Amino acid sequence: MRAFTRRFAFLGIVMLAVVCSLSGYAPAQDEAYGVVVPTAVNFGPVLVGQTSPQQRVTLKNTGTSELTVSSISISGNFALPGNQCAAGVKPGTHCNVYVTYTPHALETDTGTLTFVDNASNTPQTVSLTGTGATTVLTKTTVTTSSKSIYAGQQVTFTATVTSLGGGVIPDGEQVYFSSSGGGLGYATLQAGVAILTTSNCRGTDQATQKVTAQYVGDQSFYPSQGSVDIFVFKYETTVTVTSDPNPSVYGQPVTFTASASCGCPETPGGRMILHFPKHSPSRGGSYTLRTLEDVGSYYVEGQYFGDAYTTPAWGSVVQVVTPTSTTIAIKSSKSPSKLGQSVTLLAIVQSPWPEVNVIYGSVTFTSGGNTLATVELKDSRGSLVISSLPAGQNTITVTYTPGNDNYLGSSGSVVQTVQ
């Protein structure tokens, strides 16, 4: 019974195939099938009496046999200037047609693009819409001669302005170019193209800049803008710090100079600050330090903050400070003096630099090989009151012993006459 059922089902399939063959019906796997993309095209505003830019419509064959187009028709104020579908469409491929719109009045027009072919879903249709207008949209695109430049380097930008609603962009109109680094300049349109060659691109905190071209528009064409990204690099900067004199003497004024240099077309113009180890920073590239530093070696640094063309940078110099020389001036309160009379001897220790207004240490008074006294300096002065000097010419020698490493020792003498 089961075998009989299977033979009966098989016989039914064979008979159905014979009937289909005699009737001319093709199974689905042997059909062409047409798909249009897009199914609707809106041309938007188009200048009255002008023809719009072409819009592309694609006819795809998603079936398994070749699609043959017998006719393509279009209605309304729409035209078909380009047709690449006359040769048919093989399975898995496509062809294109191009449609335009020419309005005759300030109104909205509709139409239909129709494909008639051998596809199982023929015809395929595309709805068309457009509006007649007195002013239409435009599109601005921008290209650059180089994607990467250094600030101040010459580069060319090209802006192309096209109408999205037909007509021709007039010659002589202006396009303004700008970037995040500032304005770049104007260029004049010729045949829809404006070209600006400039060296005004400046560096910013971000290397990538957006260069924008702005079309100003007129009574028939709306303004539009486009942009392109470029990399604008700043030049590496070197900071050099010098000092004069170096080495210097304790208390001696020293002039520090910091300068910035680079391989750029502009002289670096950014802000400079000098940093000192024991003093407040000084604005500017040159400063004379008149206040004191102890003996030793010090880093003095120049900080450059950069500008539109150059990067920030640091530089330094090692300033060596050596001890200052000293001299001793000795004064007597009375010379000649009488035997047994008290005399005040005053020793004043001095530096050749006016900035050293206080000297620390001690002075020792001697006479004839005998030490009379050692006195600590106060305000760079030390004094001795004495009444025991013998009669005659007494040579009093004063020796200075420095209180720290900032000073060099010295000595001086005076003749005290005792009668």
pLDDT per residue over 174-190, tens digit each? 999 999 888 999 999 99
Closest by alpha carbon to 351, among 310, 394, 309, 295?
295
Specify the CATH superfamily of domain 238-322.
Answer: Immunoglobulins (2.60.40.10)
**What pLDDT shows up at residue 23?**
34
Residue 304 — very low, low, confident or very high, per pLDDT cuts 50/70/90?
A: very high
Pairing of strands 313-322, 248-249: parallel
Fold match flag (28-133 vs 327-418): yes
Q: Where are the domains of the chain?
A: 28-133, 138-233, 238-322, 327-418
**How many C-beta atoms lie closer than 10 Å to residue 238's C-beta?**
15
Whole-prediction pTM: 0.67
**What pLDDT shows up at residue 419?**
94
Beta bridge mates, 125: 114
pLDDT at 3 over 50: no
Q: Calculate the CA dihedral of residues 267, 273, 275, 276 and round it to 10 degrees.
A: 100
Residue 395 — very low, low, confident or very high, per pLDDT cuts 50/70/90?
A: very high
Query: What is the mean pLDDT of the segment spanning 209-228?
Result: 96
Q: Count Cα atoms within 13 angstroms, Cβ side, for 326.
A: 32
**What pLDDT shows up at residue 354?**
87
Residue 299 — very low, low, confident or very high, per pLDDT cuts 50/70/90?
A: very high
pLDDT at 21 over 50: no
Closest by alpha carbon to 234, among 145, 147, 148?
148
Query: What is the mean pLDDT of the segment spanning 223-252?
Result: 95
CATH number (3.90.1170.50, 1.10.3720.10, 2.60.40.1930, 1.10.10.10) of 327-418 reads 2.60.40.1930
Specify the CATH superfamily of domain 138-233.
Answer: Macroglobulin (MG2) domain (2.60.40.1930)
**What pLDDT shows up at residue 290?**
80
Query: Cα(70)–Cα(209) distance, rounded to whole angstroms?
Result: 53
Query: What is the mean pLDDT of the segment spanning 360-371?
Result: 96
**What pLDDT shows up at residue 29?**
63
**What pLDDT shows up at residue 18?**
34
Query: What is the mean pLDDT of the segment spanning 232-257?
Result: 95
Query: Cα(374)–Cα(400) distance, rounded to whole angstroms?
Result: 10
Percent of the chain with pLDDT over 90: 83
Query: Cα(298)–Cα(275) distance, rounded to whole angstroms?
Result: 11
CATH number of 28-133: 2.60.40.10
